């Protein structure tokens, strides 16, 4: 099979031949039909100390199952997050991280909707939104952010603010349902919001905290880190919550399944629309990474083996 890897931090992505792996206990072997490219994986290549397997969101057909697998069998179509080599013709997916793909849905839609949607929906749940509250979504044009904007609106947000890296993305984010779009460099992000979903981290994290009204809630789900000062929390009685999807998938499978069903229901009803920025061949993985590094993507970037 073909597989993409890299040799050093910031190094070129290389397409190589590799043996098809066998599923271990609890694992599914999936013939990949679509692979989602994520910012955390791009950061592993550009910032990681040592080369690691390029994991990611995959969707495709189960061709073999490991010992102890009970929920899926060969021929089933699934999507989920692969922690090993995901940029490949075949990838291993642990059963706890897998979700079924409806018969009438294609793999690209599954990759664009499910994982990003689960993160967006989970972060929104962590914010405990109330109808009529004002919401802020950073990285509002990203694979997760563009779904979070739509979900915040569906949950009854009275005002939705989308924060983006470049004003050229403003029309796209407004088309998702945002009332107001700001850029990271703006001096002000307008009137304070009741909760913020931050998918950027780093230097933007304290800026998102500043955008909160007193007693506002910030949910951080980015791999970009960041630091906030305790005084900035105390003075406005604000709070910060960290959210990680993997903890839900492994520790609360019933909730994971409930959220997954909600996403497909909203999609079927036309109330949630995943947007695919571009589809790239496996050998063009470097170009796909370049779109995200340049912050050029409007929606999801997908590899097609």
Residue ranges of the chain with per-residue pLDDT less than 50: none
Q: Domains along the chain?
A: 2-101+275-304 (3.90.180.10), 117-245 (3.40.50.720)
Place of tokens 């949950």: 155
Residue 300 has φ and ψ, to the nearest 5°, of -90, 140
Query: DSSP state, 168?
Result: G
User: pTM of the predicted model, to two decimals?
Assistant: 0.92
Tokens of residue 206, six digits = 């304290």
pLDDT attached to residue 249: 81
pLDDT attached to residue 49: 67
Q: Is 267 helix (H, G, I), strand (E, B) or coil?
A: helix
Distance, CA of 52 to CA of 107 (rounded, Å): 25
């Amino acid at each position: 099979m073909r597989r993409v890897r890299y040799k050093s931090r910031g190094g070129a992505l290389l397409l190589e031949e590799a043996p098809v792996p066998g599923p271990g206990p609890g694992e599914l072997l999936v013939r990949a039909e679509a692979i989602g490219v994520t910012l955390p994986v791009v950061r592993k290549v550009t910032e990681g100390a040592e080369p690691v397997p390029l994991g990611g969101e995959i969707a495709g057909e189960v061709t073999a199952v490991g010992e102890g697998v009970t929920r899926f069998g060969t021929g089933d179509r699934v999507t989920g997050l692969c922690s090993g080599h995901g940029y490949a013709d075949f990838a291993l997916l642990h059963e706890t991280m897998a979700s079924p793909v409806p018969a009438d849905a294609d793999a690209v839609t599954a990759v664009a909707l499910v994982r990003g949607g689960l993160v967006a929906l989970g972060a929104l749940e962590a914010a405990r939104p109330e109808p009529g509250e004002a919401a802020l979504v950073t990285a509002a044009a990203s694979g997760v952010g563009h779904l979070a904007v739509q979900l915040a609106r569906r949950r009854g947000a009275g005002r939705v603010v989308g924060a983006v890296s470049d004003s050229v993305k403003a029309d796209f984010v407004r088309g998702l349902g945002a009332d107001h779009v700001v850029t990271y460099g703006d001096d002000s992000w307008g009137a304070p919001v009741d909760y913020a979903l931050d998918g950027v981290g780093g230097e933007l994290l304290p800026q998102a905290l500043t955008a909160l009204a007193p007693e506002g809630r910030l949910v951080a789900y980015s791999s970009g880190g960041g630091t906030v000062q305790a005084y900035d929390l105390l003075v406005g009685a604000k709070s910060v919550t960290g959210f990680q999807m993997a903890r839900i998938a492994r520790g609360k499978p019933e909730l994971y399944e409930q959220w997954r069903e909600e996403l497909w229901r909203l999609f079927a009803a036309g109330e949630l629309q995943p947007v695919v920025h571009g589809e790239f061949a496996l050998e063009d993985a470097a170009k796909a990474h370049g779109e995200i590094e340049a912050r050029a993507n409007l929606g999801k970037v997908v590899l097609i083996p």
